[in-house]
């Protein structure tokens, strides 16, 4: 192929950003004016107001076009991001919660006593506002016990397993004999030692560090407050009505029994080892995306230099190899900065965690890099450098919209995120930093590899097409 014309043959001093629509318009008008001045005016002459007004009239449509373009792009990008948050509170019902109760009826002093704690809790789940905070799956205890035995677990351990395998966002477990123990405590005047372990809430912070604190934990805390304020008192009132006068006197001498409520026992199975993990596991992915573009931007001059000195096939191989090395080095920097600020990477894979983190970020930056190279090559071919900045913002918005909040809280449109490089990298990094479930890890890495393979194959055709287009454009300009 000809080496005389290539879309990468550009003046590096011009930069990728270009002058913009308005700047181009002003330059064209000024150039036209200077050409006319050189032909008609042998000496400098100040423009009269009518002449200057005529120039303003000429450039006004260009200004209008520039502002309308920016307005449309900005409105579209903001709508895309804020659309993911639209009516988010109304989608709390999409979040699945497991509810398992081993609190059952029992005989007490010859009477059959209903499980007051279980009944009050189920009533709370069916009443507003708690019923609007999630979708509660109350499993049959007999069937759930069989499932627990199948996995060689206790009932509580099976609840933990179900939450860990991401079948539910959280699990509520009511311990056996909770109502019976409260009855015994009130009738005997002896404090119930494990009253705060009667109702347990199992969750994993690592499943979605930022999202869990905003949506899951806050809702569960609201449920706990509702439980203590409005439902525990009914349970206690039922028990108090069954006491005789002597038992009431004994209870009065140990008032702590009445003031100790069965509040939620919050059990975080995958806590964050440090708040700093939010940086490399989530927010840092935005910066990595930007650098995946700039590694290509910084290499443009080298690509142009090599294109003129090696065969086209060799150039394609060199370009692929160079982009992978760039991604590998930048990913290494990402991993080194992570450990430099003492963010633990050994939570799941031990000492190999650093290498695993490095490779995951490499796949992410490589996949993002190939996407950016393809798009920027097309923009260069059409001489639309002004669209590069909007493209980068578009990439950031489309990726963070599906990454920084659970899918179940966003409109169905945002399920495209299952194929998003940032989302799949985020899911993989949660395994590294929080030891979350590895069941989706293969899918996450597979999608990243697919982006790399498809992107680099596409780049061959895009590069060839861009070169031919540049040749045609140069020929047209020469003949024109």
Q: Where are the beta strands (DSSP E) in 151-247?
A: 170-174, 199-203
Both tokens assigned to 89: 């509170």
Question: Can you give the pTM of this predicted structure?
Answer: 0.83
What is the pLDDT at residue 32?
53
On whether the CB atoms of residues 370 and 456 are closer than 8 A, the answer is yes
On whether the CB atoms of residues 472 and 381 are closer than 8 A, the answer is no
What is the pLDDT at residue 3?
43
- The residues of the chain scoring below 50 in pLDDT are 1-27, 29, 38-43
Tell me the CA distances in angstroms from 68 to 71, 72, 73, 391, one per residue in order: 5, 6, 9, 17
What is the pLDDT at residue 480?
61
Query: What is the dihedral sign for C-alpha 22, 28, 31, 33?
Result: negative
What is the pLDDT at residue 372?
92
What is the pLDDT at residue 464?
85
**Cβ density class 56-77: b for 16+ within 10 Å, e for less:** eeeeeebeeebeebeeebeeeb
Both tokens assigned to 132: 């609007």
Q: Which residue has the tokens 């945002």?
A: 414
What is the pLDDT at residue 20?
44
Other Cβ atoms within 10 Å of 13 Cβ, number? 5
Both tokens assigned to 15: 């930069």
Both tokens assigned to 223: 């449920």
Note if the bond before 254 is cis, omega within 30 degrees. Answer: no
3-class DSSP assignment, residue 173: strand
Tell me the CA distances in angstroms from 304 to 16, 64, 375, one per residue in order: 14, 36, 17
CA distance 426 to 337: 18
Indicate the pairing of strand 135-138 with strand 264-268. unpaired
CA distance 81 to 87: 13
CA distance 164 to 141: 19
What is the pLDDT at residue 69?
85
What is the pLDDT at residue 29?
44
Q: In sequence order, what are the residues at sequence separation of 6 or more whose Cβ sits closer than 8 angstroms to the Cβ of residue 212?
A: 203, 204, 205
If you compute the radius of gyration of the chain from its CA atoms, what whole number of angstroms results? 33
Q: At what angle do helices 284-307 and 388-400 cross, to 10 degrees?
A: 140
CA distance 419 to 444: 9
Name the nearest CA neighbour of 235 among 256, 253, 258: 258
Would you give the DSSP letter of residue 99?
A: E
Would you give the DSSP letter of residue 423?
A: H
Name the nearest CA neighbour of 108 among 250, 242, 233: 242
């Amino acid at each position: 192929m000809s080496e005389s014309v290539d879309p990468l043959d550009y003046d590096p001093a011009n930069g990728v950003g270009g002058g913009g629509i308005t700047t181009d318009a002003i330059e064209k008008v000024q150039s036209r004016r200077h050409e006319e001045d050189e032909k008609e005016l042998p000496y400098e002459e100040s423009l009269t107001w009518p002449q200057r007004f005529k120039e303003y009239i000429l450039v006004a449509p260009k200004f209008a076009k520039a502002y309308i373009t920016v307005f449309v792009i900005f409105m579209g990008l903001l709508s895309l991001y804020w659309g993911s948050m639209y009516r988010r509170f109304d989608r709390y019902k999409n979040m699945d919660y497991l509810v398992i109760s081993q609190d059952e009826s029992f005989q007490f002093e010859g009477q059959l006593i209903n499980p007051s704690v279980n009944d009050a809790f189920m009533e709370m789940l069916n009443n507003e506002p708690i019923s609007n905070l999630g979708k509660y799956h109350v499993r049959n205890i007999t069937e759930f016990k069989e499932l627990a035995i199948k996995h060689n677990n206790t009932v509580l351990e099976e609840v933990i397993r179900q939450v860990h395998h991401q079948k539910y966002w959280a699990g509520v477990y009511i311990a056996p004999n909770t109502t019976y123990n409260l009855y015994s405590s009130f009738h005997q005047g002896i404090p119930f030692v494990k009253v705060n372990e009667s109702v347990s809430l199992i969750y994993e912070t690592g499943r979605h560090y930022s999202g869990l604190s905003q949506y899951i934990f806050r809702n569960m805390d609201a449920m706990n407050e509702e439980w203590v304020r409005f439902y525990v008192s009914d349970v206690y009132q039922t028990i108090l009505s069954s006491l005789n006068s002597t038992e009431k006197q004994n209870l009065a001498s140990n008032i702590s029994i009445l003031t100790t409520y069965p509040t939620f026992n919050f059990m975080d199975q995958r806590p964050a080892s440090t708040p700093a993990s939010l940086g490399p596991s989530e927010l840092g992915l935005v910066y990595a995306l930007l650098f995946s573009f700039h590694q290509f931007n910084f290499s443009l001059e080298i690509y142009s230099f090599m294109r003129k000195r090696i065969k086209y096939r060799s150039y394609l191989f060199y370009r692929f190899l160079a982009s992978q090395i760039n991604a590998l080095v930048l990913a290494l920097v990402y991993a080194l900065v992570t450990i430099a600020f003492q963010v633990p990477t050994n939570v799941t894979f031990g000492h190999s965690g650093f290498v695993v983190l490095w490779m995951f970020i490499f796949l992410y930056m490589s996949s993002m890099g190939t996407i950016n190279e393809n798009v920027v090559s097309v923009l260069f071919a059409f001489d639309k450098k002004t669209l590069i900045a909007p493209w980068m913002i578009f990439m950031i918005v489309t990726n963070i919209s599906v990454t920084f909040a659970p899918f179940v809280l966003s409109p169905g449109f945002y399920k495209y995120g299952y194929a998003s490089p940032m989302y799949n990298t985020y899911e993989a990094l949660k395994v590294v930093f929080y030891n979350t479930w590895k069941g989706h890890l293969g899918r996450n890495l597979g999608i990243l590899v697919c982006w790399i393979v498809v992107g680099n194959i596409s780049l061959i055709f895009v590069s060839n097409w861009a070169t031919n287009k540049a040749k045609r454009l140069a020929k047209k300009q020469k003949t024109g």
